[in-house]
Amino acid sequence: MTEKSNQVEVTLLGKTHQFACTEGQEQVLLDAVALLNKRVEDMKQRSTVRNEQNALLLAALHLCHDLQAQQQSNKSQQSQQQALIDKLSVYLDNH
């Protein structure tokens, strides 16, 4: 079964673009564009970067850093949960 896709028009860095988007995921795409636009504007405000291309790269790097930090946090939480499950299993096996 093939997923349906829609063309979604977004404005990124003041320019209009068309992207194919899986049906039902349009709002997720729009939210992602809004986040990226906000991050680019933040980079332009907080740093000496004024060139939109460089601000976009810097924003993308920050988003990737945030993603990596979240993934590491998730991995740590999963390890902690597994340790608790293991302790509970040992306890239940002994009682």
pLDDT in tens, 10-22: 999 889 999 999 9
Work out how many domains the chain is built from and give that number.
1
**Structural domain for 74, as ranges:** 5-94
Sign of the torsion angle spanned by Cα atoms 58, 38, 69, 20: negative
Amino acid type, 62? H
Please tell me the predicted confidence (pLDDT) of residue 4. 84
Are 47 and 61 in contact by the 8 Å Cβ rule? The answer is no
Amino acid type, 66? D
Please tell me the predicted confidence (pLDDT) of residue 1. 52
> What distance in Å separates the CA atoms of residue 67 and residue 40, rounded to the nearest whole number?
17
From the list 29, 25, 35, 28, the residue with the least C-alpha distance to 9 is 29
